[in-house]
Amino acid sequence: MSDMSDTHDTNRMNLDDLVAVDVHTHAEVSSSGQGSLSEELDAAAGDYFKAEHRRPTLPEIAAYYRERKMACVVFTVDAEAATGTPAVPNEEVAEAAAANPDVIIPFASVDPHKGRLGARQVRRLVEEYGVRGFKFHPNVQDFAPNDPMAYPVYEAVEAAGAIAVFHTGQTGIGAGARGGGGIRLKHSNPMLVDDVAVDFPDMPIILAHPSFPWQDEALAVATHKPQVYIDLSGWSPKYFPPQLVQYANSLLQDKVLFGSDYPLLTPDRWLADFEKLPIKEAVRPKILKANAARLLGLG
C-alpha cells in the first residue's frame, strides 16, 4: 500500500493565486484506458451532453486546470455492484492529486452496497491516501440515499471528517437509452438526502447540480440543514431556475459552490455564462472560490 504522506509536494496549492475552485470534476478514464461506465451508458451521456474530449486522463485534467489557474475536486464513481463495470481506481485519483497538489483535490467513490467492506475502504482512502470526500451517485449506484444499507459507509465518512457529495436531480447518464439504461431518477430526489443530513449531522454534504425537477426541495434542505451545500455543476448557468439564483444571492450565498461537471461541461463555458447572471458582486467570489475554500479547509 502507498503512503501518500511521503509524496514530494513542493508545489503546494496557493489559494491566493487561484481564480476559482471547481468542486465537481470527473476522472472518466484510468491510465489503462478503463472507464467507469458501461459502453451503453457512456455513449448515452456523451450524446446527452454533446461533450468533446470526453475522456481526459488525470495528468491532462491537472494541466487543463493549471492553465486556467483553478483548483479542482476530482473523483470517480464506483457503481460496480449495479453496472458490473469496475471504476477508475480511487487510488489512481489520489496519486494524481499527490503528484499535482497545486491543482487537484482528491475525492473518491465507494459503492454503498459494499457495506462494512466499503467502510474499511473509506477509512483506508482517507488515512493512507489523503482523500477529502466521497461521491455518491444514487442513480448509477442504484440505491436510495436514505437506505440503511448505505449507513455503514456514511458512518465511516463522518468519522473520518470527510465530505459526502450526492448527485441530485436529472442525470444525463442513460438518457435516451432503452429504458433509460436501467437508471431510476427517483433515487436523486434531494429529500432523500435530508434523512441522511438528520442521521449524520456532522458530515458535510454537497447536493450536486441544480436539482431538476426538485430544485425547491434542494433549496429547502440546504436552508434547513447547516451542513448541507449546493454545487452548481452540470448545467450552464443560463439555464439555472430563477429561485436558485435568488437563493444563491441571499440566504444561501455562503453555501453555494462553483462546479462544472468537467469533462461533460467545461469550466470555460460555465464561467462565461455565469458572468451574465445577476449575481451580486459581493457574492460572486464566494461562489467561485471562498465557500469551497472554507468547506475544504484550503489555504
pLDDT in tens, 228-239: 999 999 999 999
Q: Say if residue 275's pLDDT is above 70.
A: yes
Burial label for 48, CB within 10 Å (0-12, 13-18, 19+), is middle
The confidence score (pLDDT) of residue 290 equals 98
The confidence score (pLDDT) of residue 2 equals 42
Distances (CA, A) of 46 to 40, 43, 58: 10, 5, 19
Q: Say if residue 277's pLDDT is above 60.
A: yes
The confidence score (pLDDT) of residue 38 equals 56
pLDDT band at 6 (very low <50, low <70, confident <90, very high): very low
Q: Which set of grid coordinates corresponds to residue 189?
A: 430526489
How many angstroms separate the CA atoms of 197 and 229, rounded? 11
The confidence score (pLDDT) of residue 55 equals 84
The proportion of the chain whose per-residue pLDDT surpasses 90, expressed as a percent, equals 82
Q: Look up the CATH number of domain 16-296.
A: 3.20.20.140
Report domain extents, the chain. Answer: 16-296
pLDDT band at 46 (very low <50, low <70, confident <90, very high): low
- Cβ pair 166, 178 in contact under 8 A: no
Angle of the 115-129 helix axis to the 151-159 helix axis, nearest 10:
20
Q: Say if residue 50's pLDDT is above 60.
A: no
H/E stretch holding 208 reads: strand 205-208
pLDDT in tens, 285-294: 999 999 999 9
- Cβ pair 62, 96 in contact under 8 A: yes
Rounded average pLDDT over 128-132:
98
How many angstroms separate the CA atoms of 14 and 266, rounded? 22
Q: Say if residue 170's pLDDT is above 60.
A: yes
Q: Say if residue 189's pLDDT is above 90.
A: yes
Q: ∠ CA 203-204-207 to the nearest 5 degrees?
A: 125
- In the block, residue with C-alpha cell 514530494: 8
Q: Which residues of 287-297 are buried (b: 16+ CB within 10 A; e: fewer)?
A: bbbbbbbebbe
- Cβ pair 76, 104 in contact under 8 A: no
Rounded average pLDDT over 96-116:
98
How many angstroms separate the CA atoms of 105 and 22, rounded? 10
- In the block, residue with C-alpha cell 471528517: 161
How many angstroms separate the CA atoms of 223 and 230, rounded? 10
- Beta-carbon contacts of 132 under 8 Å, excluding residues fewer than 6 positions away, are 73, 105, 106, 107, 126, 162, 163, 296
Task: Count Cβ atoms below 10 Å from residue 239 Cβ, excluding itself.
Answer: 10
Q: Say if residue 53's pLDDT is above 60.
A: no
The confidence score (pLDDT) of residue 31 equals 72
As a whole number, the mean pLDDT across the chain is 91
